[in-house]
Amino acid sequence: MAKSKNESNNKNSGTLLTEKDGTQYFVMGKVRIKVSEHFAQDGKSLDSLLEDVIQHAAAAS
């Protein structure tokens, strides 16, 4: 199933599994969650989103 397996040293944390097709899953115990991004194709870039977050945080303080 998994192409690679990245494990944390913390026994309470989960494992990140990567399938051969690149699909990633976070696994903790019997729970398996598909990892995906939720950015719109024509939406703002990550840099722009981070800039907005920083400006919002600065205005709030």
pLDDT (tens digit per residue) in 3-60: 455 544 456 678 989 999 988 898 999 999 998 766 677 888 878 888 999 999 999 9
Q: Please report the sign of the dihedral spanned by the C-alpha atoms of residue 26, residue 38, residue 51, residue 22.
A: positive
d(C-alpha 15, C-alpha 38), whole Å:
21
Q: Give the pLDDT confidence score for residue 9 in this predicted structure.
A: 46
What pLDDT does residue 42 have? 83
Q: What is the pTM of this model?
A: 0.44
